[in-house]
Amino acid sequence: MYRVKVDSLMLLLWASCTVTRGISDVEVLTPKLTRCSHERAYDMYGAYCGGLRLDKIPNLKSSIEILDFSENRLNELQADTFTNYPNIKFLYLTENQLYRIDKDAFAPLVYLQTLDLSNNVILELPETVFQLPSLRNLYLKNNPLLHLSISNLEIRKPIKAPLELLDISNCKLERLPNWGTIPNLVKYNISHNQLKTIEAQHFASMCALKKVDISKSIEEIKTCDLKPTISWFQIKAISFELDDYSKLNTEEFNDCPSMTGNDLEILNTTHHICRSMYLKFHNSITSRRTWLTVIGGLAGFLVCFMLLLYLMHRHNVAQTKEPSEKIKKVTPKNESDKHASIPILNETSDVSRL
């Protein structure tokens, strides 16, 4: 009898323990699992939905400028996915399961500066990505299937996006896509691919280029086929990252034929075209800035002028009032006038009395 009681008590205790533990687990996990938070960061308004295991973007405030939707389960970006969020400047979609992107998906994002699509399985990358008018940083790294779409991607040239950073590392690429001229590109990461060829011409159309990462990408290319590209990097002081520089210190490499004057001239021409596009881009920005400064200055001058006029007007009004006040103040000091004023005062008081 006693034993049974103890046993049932234990059972009850165990049951309640498991139940409470179950609940507490759920309680601990739920707030993190379902909700995006809205916060202000870097003076911008953003929505943070990282790691919530969501398979679609929930309703968010339409004024957001940052959307962090990394580490979720997004499969597709549709034409209307971002229509409610036209102000997004920074969009992080890394580590989802993206394989399809509609060609109009990014069209509303005219202010988009940074797009991170790394660590996905993109099968279809629309050409329109390269036409985004404000896009400066594009991360496509670790998309093992990207080579399927990128190798036959027809890109409108010159691309409209003012790209400064392009990361296509570890995408199983065998040849680099023909981007045409990318005048503003500074950093280019093409590491961890399986390139079969590499051409100096590709880099001559990137005239602001400072840094290229080609590590783990050129193993399959013959030593002498690397020479023009490496020479071009040296001529233009482009720093390049390699995992093994010893390949370039061999006699074999030194003995490879150097570029002919003709080859160099073609590269120079390409570089020159790129350079004029670069200058045009930056001049248009500078002239826009100059105009804004001029207009701003004029507006400021007008405001100051109006203020000055107003102050002068007030000053004049004050001056026309002041003398009469002075006269009034002065009068009592004058003895004869004092006497004169008294009868007047008396008169008025008489009048009031009447």
Ligand X SMILES: *[C@@H]1O[C@H](CO)[C@@H](O)[C@H](O)[C@H]1NC(C)=O
Q: Least Å distance between CB 240 and ligand X?
A: 10
CB of 138 to ligand X, least distance (A): 13
Instruction: State how far the Cα of 192 lies from the Cα of 166, in Å rounded to an integer.
Output: 14
Residue whose CB is less far from ligand X, 225 or 263? 263
User: What's the sign of the alpha-carbon dihedral 142, 145, 151, 152?
Assistant: negative
Closer by beta carbon to ligand X, 80 or else 174: 174
CA distance 166 to 127: 15
Q: How far is the CB of 76 from ligand X (least distance, A)?
A: 24
As given in the structure block, the two tokens for residue 86 are 């036209």
Question: Which has the closest alpha carbon to 241: 187, 184, 162, 321?
Answer: 187
Chain contacts with ligand X (rule: CB under 6 A): 141, 169-170, 189, 191-192, 213, 241, 261, 264-265, 268
Rounded to a whole number of angstroms, the minimum distance from the CB of residue 249 to ligand X is 22
Measured from the CB of residue 189, what is the shortest distance to ligand X in angstroms? 4
Q: Report the chain's terminal Cα–Cα distance, integer Å.
A: 118
Beta-carbon contacts of 59 under 8 Å, excluding residues fewer than 6 positions away, are 84
Min separation Cβ 141 and ligand X, Å: 5
Nearer to ligand X, 107 or 277 (CB): 277
Nearer to ligand X (CB atom), residue 105 or residue 238: 238
Strand ranges inside the chain, DSSP E: 37-41, 44-48, 66-68, 76-77, 90-92, 100-101, 114-116, 137-139, 165-167, 187-189, 211-213, 239-241
Report how far residue 176's alpha carbon sits from residue 160's, in angstroms, rounded to the nearest whole number: 19
CB of residue 169 to ligand X, shortest distance in Å:
4
CA 222 to chain centre: 39
Instruction: Give the residue with the Cβ less far from ligand X, 81 or 191.
Output: 191
82 vs 179, beta carbon nearer ligand X: 179
d(CA 239, CA 211): 5
Measured from the CB atom, is 210 or 247 closer to ligand X? 210
Q: Specify whether the CB–CB gap between 74 and 93 falls below 8 A.
A: yes
